[in-house]
Structure 1
Amino acid sequence: MKQWTVIICCFLCMLSYGQDKKKLVTVKKVLKLMGTRFEITVVAQNEEIGYINIQEGIAEITRIEKMISSWDENSETSQINKNAGIKPVKVSFELFKLIERAKKISEITDGAFDISYASMDKVWQFDGKMDRLPSKTQIENSIAKIGHEKIILDADAQTVFLMEEGMRIGFGAIGKGFAADKTKDLLISKGVKAGLINASGDLTTWGTKATGEKWMIGIANPLSKDKVFSWLPIVESSVATSGNYEKYLLFEGKKYSHIIDPRTGYPTRGINSVSIFAKDAELCDALATAVFIIGRDSGIHLINQIPGVEVVVVDGENKIHKSSGILFDNNQ
């Protein structure tokens, strides 16, 4: 079978089109935010309005980063981490609900997704410098402080408490999707009728392109990216992809992904990429990581139980597998 990889392909027309005698234009900006590549695209009456909308989106992403960043010592997240094992920390309603949703995803994925993964000691390196695998003891010690059940939430006081000193939470596996959703919501509230937010592969859309056509994503062959395996329309929907294309470890002929199972401390194996389709980018982001960790069969079974969510998995042999709601022939 040819080598296939899930790649997000967004074809955006940058010209003006007549639509009900009104000219609409597509305006796009690519920039680095939250330490990663963001693409903000809006459909607007003219370029000036489009760029104003994009600046509003940038401001919203920057605001979210200041709230959830564990690198900013003044962020709410850093305050939670600093007070681990000491005292509960009162946080904004917005952050409280994000952590609450993250804990629920941890429960349905049996801990495969866990924001307390940030407590993990870095015993694995994916820069080509490792000449031996970590010992069993090192690995066990590295995950000793991880556990979503140790994140205590008090809804009445709106506080978050990490039970053990040295615990940390991080939003690396959900934060980009959260930011994409919040930016989309803000722009819709500002009257932007259509657009696309792409947070380094965590993508959400609303409305249609300036032509009136649906936004499309493609499953393509990375060795021949002009040949699309299958097109999938996304309407008022989102998609997120987790993959091991760039960061992985080769040791004694075995490939280890940079995505580590927080329950065992070992890198995942057997999957090359996972793409999740759902209404919200936040959920897509979290579940893409979880399915990567759970594995192909168990992961697809899990997604088949969640209404409104679908998955495409490319396994270690570059074969494509999908949940029941994805309709295309993967034997092409």
Structure 2
Amino acid sequence: MIKTSQGQQSYNRVVLLMGSRFDITVVAQDSVNANQHIDTAISEISRIEKLISSWDPNSQTSKINRNAGVTPVKVNQELFDLIDRSLKLSSLTDGAFDVSYASMDRIWKFDGSMSKIPTDKEIKASITKVGYQNIILDKKNRTVFLKLPGMKIGFGAIGKGYAADKAKDLLIKNKVVAGIINASGDMNTWGKQPNGEDWKVAITNPLNKAQAFGLLPIHNGAVVTSGDYEKYVSFNGKRYTHIIDPRTGYPSTGIVSVTVFAPKAELADALATSIFVMGKDVGISRINQLPKIECIIIDDQGNIHTSNHIEVEKM
């Protein structure tokens, strides 16, 4: 807890939501006020989980999946808009991000049980129902239709980021002057620390976790780190990570960590996953074309690559 002469302090709580660790920090006058705000954030994140969970049979997302190839499903405006943005992100990343990735057969195992690479035929078959182009949105009737039987959508690559964005927006609306919503590495910040300094994030080398090579200040924005240094398999000297290209069915290679800075955690979340799939050269080129977005990539040799406008405070 940090205290200032104005009496503002930062208060923190860690909770398990959406199957992940959420670390919620707010700057407030006292613990009673702070806990009320943290409770508000938790309620909002829980509401979003009920909306987008594909595990909850009562969610609108599950209803969309059950009716794949059968009939369009009417959904509320919030879910419709989230799916609409997901399709735009799919197009922006040339399908490296695909909200229909949940249709993929899980033929790659990253629990140590794999003894050989799946065959080309198995890999090709695993992605037959993946393809954001087969998601039909009807704005007039607010319906979502998955054209292929067995097709599914899932928000694993953007759900936590979206929840962090919504919790932040609600707390700002409730006049919380500063804070951080950290959803298992999907961080969204606003305001400043009680001592007047910017919030900062340490960038560590995943191949040497004891070594942070720099600090980056976060100005009212989001930072998302996707790391793949623990879930991978190696065959014939090549390392395959658990982030799989939804276009080919093959795991991504060559990158162990991606950090993306963006105005919204939802966007940073989707782009971090996409860069793994696109690779460092295409990924950085794409990021350099987007306004107000930056990235840091660490490859499987421990080399650091950054977009054009990253400024790191060396440690």
- Give yes or no for TM over 0.5: yes
Aligned-partner residue type, residue 111 of structure 1: G
Q: Percent of aligned positions with the same letter in both sequences?
A: 55
Once residues 91 and 302 of structure 1 are traced to their aligned partners in structure 2, the CA distance between those partners, rounded to angstroms, is 32
Q: 1:220, CA displacement in angstroms?
A: 2.8
8 A Cα contact 2:280 2:297, kept in partner: yes
The residue that corresponds to 2:47 in the other structure is 63
The one-character-per-residue Cα deviations of 1:48-102 (angstroms, maximum 9, x if unpaired) are 1001100111000000000000000000100000000000001110011111001
The 1:223–1:139 alpha-carbon spacing in structure 2 relative to 1, beyond 3 Å, is closer
1:196 aligns with 2:180: yes
The residue that corresponds to 2:233 in the other structure is 249
The residue that corresponds to 2:3 in the other structure is 16
> 136, 153, 156: which one pairs with 2:137?
153
1:129-208 equivalences under 5 Å are 129-208=113-192
Q: 1:253, CA displacement in angstroms?
A: 2.5
Once residues 227 and 268 of structure 1 are traced to their aligned partners in structure 2, the CA distance between those partners, rounded to angstroms, is 25
The residue that corresponds to 2:264 in the other structure is 280
After TM superposition, the score normalised by the length of structure 2 is 0.97
Aligned-partner residue type, residue 16 of structure 1: K
1:206-285 equivalences under 5 Å are 206-221=190-205, 228-285=212-269
Once residues 277 and 42 of structure 1 are traced to their aligned partners in structure 2, the CA distance between those partners, rounded to angstroms, is 21
After TM superposition, the score normalised by the length of structure 1 is 0.92
The residue that corresponds to 2:72 in the other structure is 88
SS in structure 2 of the partner of residue 72 of structure 1: coil
Q: 1:191, CA displacement in angstroms?
A: 1.2
8 A Cα contact 2:74 2:142, kept in partner: yes
Unaligned 5+ runs, structure 1? 1-13
The residue that corresponds to 1:28 in the other structure is 12
Task: Tell me how large the CA RMSD over aligned residues is.
Answer: 1.5
The one-character-per-residue Cα deviations of 1:267-298 (angstroms, maximum 9, x if unpaired) are 00000111110110000000000111000000
**Bigger relative CO (Cα 8 Å, ≥ 6 apart):** 1
The residue that corresponds to 1:4 in the other structure is none
Q: 1:15, CA displacement in angstroms?
A: 3.2
Q: 1:243, CA displacement in angstroms?
A: 1.4
The residue that corresponds to 1:323 in the other structure is 307
| More moved, 188-197 vs 227-236 | 227-236
Post-superposition, which runs of at least 4 consecutive aligned residues in structure 1 deviate over 6 A? none
Aligned-partner residue type, residue 15 of structure 1: I
The 1:329–1:211 alpha-carbon spacing in structure 2 relative to 1, beyond 3 Å, is closer
1:63-142 equivalences under 5 Å are 63-142=47-126
Once residues 208 and 245 of structure 2 are traced to their aligned partners in structure 1, the CA distance between those partners, rounded to angstroms, is 32
SS in structure 1 of the partner of residue 260 of structure 2: strand
